[in-house]
Chains A and B, each alone.
Chain A
Amino acid sequence: MLQTFGLLLGCQLLGEVTVRGAGLPIPGPVLGLAVLVLLLSLMPTLTEQLRPTTTVILANLSFLFVPAGVGVIGNLQVFSDDGLVLLFILTVSTVLSMLAAVGTFIGVRYVIAGRTT
Chain B
Amino acid sequence: MTDVAELWSYLSTTPLIWLTTTTLAYLVADGVARRLGQPPWANPVLLSVLLIAPVLWLSNTDYPTYFEGAQFIHFLLGPATVALAVPLWENRETIRTSVAPIVLALLAGSFVAAGSAILLAHAFSLPVEVLLSLAPKSTTAPVALGISEAVGGLPALTAVLVILTGIIGAVTVTPLMNLLRITDWRARGFAVGVAAHGIGTARAFQVNPVAGAYAGIAMALNALLTSLIVPVLVRWLV
Contact residues of A with B, CB < 8 Å? 5, 8-9, 11-12, 15, 25-30, 32-37, 40-41, 47, 50-51, 53-55, 57-76, 78-79, 82, 85-87, 89-106, 108-109, 112
**A70 near B53 (CB under 8 angstroms)?**
yes
Q: List the B side residues contacting A59 at CB < 8 Å.
A: 205-206
B184 nearest in chain A by CB position: A106
- Using known A-B contacts A33-B84, A36-B82, determine if residue A79 contacts B160 with beta carbons closer than 8 Å: yes
Task: Tell me the complex Cα distance, A12–B143, Å.
Answer: 15
Report Cα–Cα, A45/B137, bound state, in Å: 38
**Do A101 and B109 contact each other (CB < 8 Å), given the known contacts A8-B82, A27-B223, A70-B66?**
yes
CA distance A93 to B141 in the complex (A): 17
Q: How far is the CA of A37 from the CA of B89 in the complex (A)?
A: 6
How long is the Cα–Cα vector from A66 to B49 in the complex, in angstroms? Answer: 6
Considering the complex, which residues of chain B in the window 175-215 have a beta carbon less than 8 Å from any beta carbon of chain A?
176-177, 180, 182, 184, 186-188, 190-192, 194-196, 198-199, 201-203, 205-206, 212
Indicate whether B67 reaches chain A with its CB closer than 8 angstroms. Answer: yes
Q: A93-B137, A94-B165 are in contact. List 19 more A-B contacts (CB 8 A).
A: A30-B143, A30-B223, A32-B81, A34-B220, A64-B77, A64-B80, A66-B22, A66-B73, A67-B22, A72-B160, A74-B56, A75-B63, A94-B172, A95-B176, A95-B195, A97-B113, A99-B176, A101-B108, A106-B184
User: Chain B 102-143, CB within 8 Å of chain A: the 1/0 string?
Assistant: 101111111111001100110010100010001001101111
| Interface SS of chain A | helix
Of A47, A65, A109, the contact of B202 (CB 8 Å cutoff): A65
Using Cβ atoms and an 8 Å threshold, which residues of chain B touch A11? 82, 85
A69 to B106: give the CA distance in the assembly, Å. Answer: 26
Tell me the interface secondary structure of chain B in the complex. helix
Contact A58 B53 (CB under 8 A): no
Q: Would B53 and A73 count as touching, CB distance under 8 A?
A: yes
Complex CA distance for A91 and B164, rounded to whole angstroms: 9
Are B108 and A100 in contact (CB-based, < 8 A)? yes
Assuming the contacts A58-B87, A90-B168, A98-B194, asked whether A71 and B63 have C-beta atoms less than 8 A apart, the reply is yes
Among candidates A40, A90, A112, residue contacting B165 with C-beta atoms closer than 8 Å: A90
The answer to whether B124 and A85 touch across the interface, beta carbons within 8 angstroms, is yes
Chain B residues within 8 Å of A5, by CB: 79
What's the minimum C-beta distance from B38 to chain A, rounded to whole angstroms? 11
| B45: min CB distance to chain A, Å | 5
- Kindly identify which residue among B102, B156, B192 contacts A78, using a CB–CB cutoff of 8 Å: B156
In Å, the complex CA distance between A91 and B166 comes to 10
